[in-house]
């Protein structure tokens, strides 16, 4: 990745931050080579703060980190597009974005993915999700299989309440399995969309 940090007199390049799941633009920051290197090292988006005159990891005080997913330079190599997963509101005002927009993807599923991601990256002692991640991919996959079987069983009965609850359990553990493998629901829907486009082209 060739970034032209010398193009601007202060050695900083603009960094446009985008939610990797919803596509919503979250904020604009500035980075130098050191900020870029630290972001890759710790997996959390780090800028060079012009007001603080130092490196600044977003969320270092609030805990609302931006988990790094992807970095892409533009065609001139002097601007970055950075895709992240936010673990909370991005703006210091409490808004989802610094442009006072709601950051919604697939409704509550988007919120649930964020919670799961946060439990993975910031384990909590009494959290069921954190406990699953600690036990590893085999346990998560096993639990996913168990929930699938329970849903199939309920599908053959007439109790709609139990059926819907087992469907919810399966979807919940499916999201955990995706996160354990480093993926998210949008990546799956992208595959489905690409398949659809190929069939209808």
CA distances (Å), origin 160, targets 147, 154, 157, 167: 16, 8, 8, 10
Residue with tokens 């060079």: 48
Q: Which of 24, 186, 199 is nearest to 103 (CA)?
A: 24
Q: What is the pTM of this model?
A: 0.59
> How much is the pLDDT for 21?
78
Distance CA 38, CA 56 (A): 10
| The predicted structure's pLDDT at residue 22 | 83
CA distance 162 to 193: 31
Please state the rounded mean pLDDT for residues 56-70: 94
Q: What is the distance in angstroms between the CA of the first residue and the CA of the last residue of the chain? A: 34
Q: What percent of the chain has pLDDT over 90?
A: 77
Query: How would residue 201 be classed by pLDDT, with cut points 50, 70 and 90?
Result: low
Could you give the domains of the chain?
5-86 (3.10.20.810), 108-200 (1.10.287.1080)
CA-based nearest residue to 35, from 51, 20, 63, 13: 13
Q: What would the pLDDT profile of 32-45 be if each residue is shown by its tens digit? A: 999 999 999 999 99
């Amino acid at each position: 990745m060739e970034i032209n940090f010398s193009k601007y007199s202060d050695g900083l390049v603009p960094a446009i931050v985008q939610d990797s799941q919803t596509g919503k633009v979250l904020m604009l920051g500035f980075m130098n080579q050191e900020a870029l290197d630290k972001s890759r090292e710790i997996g959390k988006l780090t800028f060079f703060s012009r007001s603080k005159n130092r490196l600044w990891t977003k969320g270092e005080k609030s805990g609302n980190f931006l988990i790094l997913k992807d970095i892409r330079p533009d065609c001139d190599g002097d601007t970055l597009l950075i895709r992240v997963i936010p673990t909370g509101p991005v703006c210091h005002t409490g808004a989802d974005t610094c442009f006072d927009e709601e950051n919604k993807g697939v409704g509550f599923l988007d919120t649930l993915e964020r919670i799961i991601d946060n439990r993975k990256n910031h384990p909590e002692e009494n959290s069921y999700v954190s406990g699953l991640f600690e036990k590893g991919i085999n346990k998560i996959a096993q639990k996913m299989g168990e929930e699938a079987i329970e849903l199939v069983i309920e599908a053959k009965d007439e109790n709609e309440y139990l059926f819907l609850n087992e469907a919810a359990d399966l979807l919940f553990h499916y999201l955990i399995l995706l996160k354990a493998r480093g993926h998210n629901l949008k990546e799956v829907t992208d595959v489905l969309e690409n398949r659809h486009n190929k069939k209808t082209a």
